[in-house]
């Protein structure tokens, strides 16, 4: 029990903000309900809440934590500044998990707080990646120094105490760099967000990382240079703790954000614990995980995924052309295993999603169209997320171009893997952007979506659940001009949330246009929903659907390397098949 009277207590205001970024018209991308939760925000809140509980600023000082995810919550600068004034400006603003495309917006968020003399700190992949791979000043970091923003590179477990004490003492350092000292995460405070924040996302789901780091060397990836190549893990006890904390507030759906959960050495212990919580304690877990293309070779992995509550699995497919995979140093992806792996997930009735990158050196509009057709006909994939190959600061691709002095777009706002940022050897910028937008309409054609629904019925994938995802992925790019992962339900915009360098629009012009755009988009969206719902209803009632079969669902045959376009349409495909056969001859398998 404290010996300090309540009136003597000081209240440190800690404002955690996850920035959004600007759309092509310069407006902040914000939704009434956003698509996905921020794990960076959950991780920082969990650490900060534990710091508050331990009273790291002294027994007479409370820490009030405010959490804002700008993708679903408008930042009320005036109210926050008033909140600080009520507490004698005692506190700090932490800009959390800032990616390169969010960096310009993060600076704009920081400006009014810095103008008021308040301490601001910024962490995330942009700061950490640039300090890890470049010279410490490149790619806009001097903007932080000029504004007096403290930069935090690395991870906050075991380090946030120091930052909070420095801020409370008015001695926030210009830089906290822990890139060469990544902490263990086992037994540390678990990621957590209050329900009030989670309910602003679609599906009432939250996230956590069961592990960090990745042993692979993909050249386009920033994770290996920010979280390291040495994997670090949470224990099954940690995972149970966070599941129970969330279940206590009615949350039971989770996105496990590990870049590759299949390579978590404790995957089985974690799955076994989740199976107990689901089957013994009745917690209706729903999980989405990310895995590699060889996960089906791990005994019991896919079967236990199903029992643990996995309903969706994201696979880093990236490409079907081995030449492109080699160029990206993603040699762990074997196209000869794609069908076996996907059919193994299908056998468990789990929805499959895959990332697919457009713009590798060998790509052309024609080859991309060909490859999408191959995927549609020969791979039992449900959902594809298309990305433009982007030299993200913090990746090897960016470092190589930066060292060579190759021109890259100066506007970090478009480093969102849906805009072209540098030149391509075979496509113009316009051709590259055009084929990116075309790819969505090619894959999510009305006819192919019907095929996907038929495959769902035949393999036990929940039809309604798949139809909802298809609606989102088929409509977001053409209607909202943002990637589905940046989307949500009901776009929100105000004239005041425009990039400072762009003119403020007259409200009498802005609001009528925005209302009309919103109405038009939702009419189009309703048409897609009705069309897909009718198709799903008819397919579900068709007795033939349960026995539906096509090339993609056909069991893997010994001779398919001779006939499938997946293996015969590229030189790399033929070489991959030849390599597998040589290995088989040498090993007798």
* pLDDT tens digit sequence for 129-153: 999 999 888 899 999 999 999 999 9
Pairing mode, strands 351-358 and 310-318:
parallel
pLDDT at 576: 55
What is the rounded distance in angstroms from the CA atom of residue 73 to the CA atom of residue 50?
Answer: 24
Nearest to 70 by CA among 29, 127, 110: 29
Give 176's strand partners. Answer: 152
Give the number of C-alpha atoms closer than 13 A to the C-alpha of residue 518, restricted to the C-beta side: 13
For 373-428, the DSSP string reads HHHHHH---SEEEEEE----TTSHHHHHHHHHT--B-S-GGG-SSSS--B--SSS-
Residue 334 pLDDT class (50, 70, 90 cuts): low
Nearest CA among 132, 115, 114 for reference residue 123? 132
Residues 20 and 29 sit within 8 Å (Cβ to Cβ): yes
Q: Which residues contact 431 (CB under 8 A, 6 or more apart)?
A: 365
Q: Residue 26: give the domain boundaries.
A: 11-177
Q: In sequence order, what are the beta bridge partners of 253?
A: 205, 286
Judge whether 156 lies within some domain: yes
Let me know how many helices (H) and strands (E) the chain has, helices first.
22, 16
pLDDT at 3 > cutoff 60: no
- Identify the pLDDT of residue 137: 83
Query: How much is the pLDDT for 573?
Result: 60
Report if residue 315 sits inside a domain: no
Could you give the count of Cα atoms lying within 13 Å of 458 in the half-sphere of its Cβ?
Answer: 18
pLDDT tens-digit series, residues 455-476: 999 999 999 999 999 999 999 9
Q: Is the pLDDT confidence value at 418 over 80?
A: yes
pLDDT above 90: residue 91: yes
Residue 113 within a domain: yes
Contact predicate 435/360, CB 8 Å: no
- What percent of the chain clears pLDDT 90, i.e. is strictly above it? 82
Contacting residues for 481 by C-beta, under 8 A, at least 6 apart = 23, 24
* Sheet of strand 205-208, all strands in order from the earlier edge strand to the far edge: 205-208, 253-256, 286-291, 310-318, 351-358, 383-388
**Residue 201 forms part of a structural domain:** no
- Write down the pLDDT at residue 2: 40
Residue 231 CB coordination number (10 Å): 18
Distance CA 365, CA 435 (A): 6
Token duo for residue 111: 């400006």
Q: Is the pTM of this model over 0.85?
A: yes
pLDDT computed for residue 190 by the predictor: 97
Using 50, 70 and 90 to split pLDDT, how confident is the model at 320?
confident
pLDDT of residue 401: 94
Cβ distance 291 to 260 under 8 Å?
Answer: yes
What is the pLDDT, as a whole number, of residue 316? Answer: 85
Phi, then psi, of 17 in degrees rounded to 5: -125, 125
Identify whether the C-beta of residue 504 lies closer than 8 Å to the C-beta of residue 81: no
At residue 270 the predicted structure's pLDDT band, cuts being 50, 70 and 90, is very high
Q: Sign of the CA dihedral 303, 307, 313, 316?
A: negative
In a domain, 23, yes or no: yes
In 3D, which of 462, 508, 505 has the Cα closest to residue 286?
Answer: 462
Percent of the chain with pLDDT over 70: 94
Give the up-direction half-sphere exposure of residue 214: CA atoms within 13 A in the CB hemisphere.
23
Structure tokens at 99: 């990616």
Angle formed by the axes of helices 267-279 and 236-247, nearest 10°: 30
Neighbour-count burial for 506-523, b at 16+ CB within 10 Å, e otherwise:
eeeebeeebeeeeeebee
Q: In the structure, what pLDDT confidence band is assigned to residue 574 with cuts at 50, 70 and 90?
A: low
pLDDT, tens digit, 9 for 90 and up, residues 198-215: 999 988 999 999 999 887
pLDDT tier for residue 450 given thresholds of 50, 70 and 90: very high
User: Phi/psi at 385 (nearest 5 deg)?
Assistant: -110, 115
Q: What is the mean pLDDT of residues 370-389?
A: 95
Domain annotation covers residue 117: yes
Q: Is residue 91 part of a domain?
A: yes
Phi, psi (degrees; rounded to nearest 5) at 415 = -85, 60
- Give domain status of residue 236, yes or no: no
Q: Report helix angle 160-168 to 39-54, nearest 10.
A: 70
Predicted local confidence at residue 5, as pLDDT: 43
Residues sharing a CB contact under 8 Å with residue 212, sequence separation 6 or more, in sequence order: 155, 182, 185, 227, 228, 231, 232, 258
Q: How far apart are the first and last CA of the chain?
A: 69
Is the per-residue pLDDT at 15 higher than 90?
A: yes
Whether 254 and 205 have beta carbons less than 8 Å apart is answered as yes
Asked whether 64 and 11 are in contact (CB, 8 A), the reply is: yes
Residue 565 in this model has a pLDDT that exceeds 50: yes
Tokens 């659940």 identify what position?
465
The CATH number given to whatever domain includes residue 169 is 3.40.50.2300
Indicate the number of domains in the chain. 1
- Three-state SS annotation for 174-207: CEEECCCCCCCCCCCCCCCCCHHHHCCECCCEEE
pLDDT attached to residue 321? 79
pLDDT category, 188, cuts 50, 70, 90? Answer: very high
Residue 5, judged by CB atoms within 10 A of its CB (0-12, 13-18, 19+), counts as exposed
Average pLDDT of the chain is 92
């Amino acid at each position: 029990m404290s010996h300090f009277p309540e009136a003597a207590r000081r209240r440190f205001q800690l404002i955690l903000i996850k920035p959004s970024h600007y759309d092509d018209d310069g407006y902040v991308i914000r939704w009434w309900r956003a698509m996905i939760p921020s794990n960076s925000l959950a991780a920082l809140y969990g650490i900060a809440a534990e710091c508050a509980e331990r009273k790291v600023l002294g027994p007479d000082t409370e820490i009030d934590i405010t959490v804002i995810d700008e993708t679903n919550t408008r930042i009320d600068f005036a109210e926050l500044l008033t909140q600080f004034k009520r507490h004698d400006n005692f506190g700090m603003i932490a800009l959390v998990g800032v990616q390169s495309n969010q960096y310009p917006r993060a600076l704009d968020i920081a400006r009014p707080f810095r103008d008021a003399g308040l301490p601001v700190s910024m962490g995330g992949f942009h700061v950490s990646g640039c300090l890890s791979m470049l010279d410490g000043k490149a790619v806009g970091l001097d903007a932080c120094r000029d504004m007096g923003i403290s930069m935090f590179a690395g991870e906050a477990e075991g380090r946030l105490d120091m930052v909070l004490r420095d801020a409370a003492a008015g001695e926030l350092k210009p830089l906290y760099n822990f890139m060469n000292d990544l902490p263990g995460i086992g037994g540390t405070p678990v990621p957590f967000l209050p329900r009030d924040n989670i309910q602003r996302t679609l599906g009432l789901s939250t996230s956590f990382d069961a592990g960090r780091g990745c042993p692979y060397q993909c050249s386009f990836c920033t994770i290996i240079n920010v979280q390291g190549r040495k994997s670090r893990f949470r224990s099954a006890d940690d995972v149970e703790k966070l599941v129970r904390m969330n279940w206590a507030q009615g949350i039971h759906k989770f996105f496990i954000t590990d870049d590759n959960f299949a390579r978590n050495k404790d995957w089985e212990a974690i799955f076994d614990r989740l199976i107990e919580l689901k089957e013994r304690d009745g917690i209706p877990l729903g999980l989405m995980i990310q895995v590699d293309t060889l996960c089906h070779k791990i005994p019991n992995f896919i079967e236990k995924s199903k029992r643990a509550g996995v309903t969706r699995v994201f696979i880093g497919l990236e490409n079907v052309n081995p030449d492109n995979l080699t160029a990206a140093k993603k040699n762990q992806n074997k196209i000869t295993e794609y069908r076996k792996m996907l059919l193994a997930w299908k056998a468990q009735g789990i929805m499959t999603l895959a990332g697919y990158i457009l713009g590798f050196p060998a790509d052309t509009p024609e080859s991309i169209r060909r490859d999408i057709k191959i995927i549609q006909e020969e791979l039992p994939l449900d959902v594809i997320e298309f990305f433009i190959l982007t030299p993200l600061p913090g990746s090897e691709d960016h470092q190589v171009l930066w060292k060579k002095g190759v021109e890259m777009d100066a506007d970090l706002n478009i480093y969102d893997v849906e805009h072209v940022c540098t030149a391509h050897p075979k496509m113009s910028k316009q051709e590259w952007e055009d084929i990116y937008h075309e790819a969505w309409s090619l894959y999510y054609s009305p006819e192919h979506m019907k095929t996907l629904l038929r495959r769902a019925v035949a393999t036990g994938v929940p039809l309604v659940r798949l139809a909802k995802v298809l609606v989102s992925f088929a409509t977001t790019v053409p209607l909202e001009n943002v990637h589905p992962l940046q989307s949500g339900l009901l776009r929100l915009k105000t004239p005041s949330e425009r990039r400072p360098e762009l003119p403020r629009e007259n409200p009498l012009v802005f609001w009528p246009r925005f209302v009309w755009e919103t109405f038009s988009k939702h009419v189009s969206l309703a048409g897609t929903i009705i069309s897909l719902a009718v198709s799903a209803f008819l397919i579900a009632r068709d007795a033939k659907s349960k026995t539906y079969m096509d090339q993609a669902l056909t069991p893997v045959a010994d001779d398919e390397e001779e006939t499938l376009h997946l293996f015969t349409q590229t030189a790399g495909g033929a070489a991959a098949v030849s390599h597998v056969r040589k290995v088989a001859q040498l090993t007798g398998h």
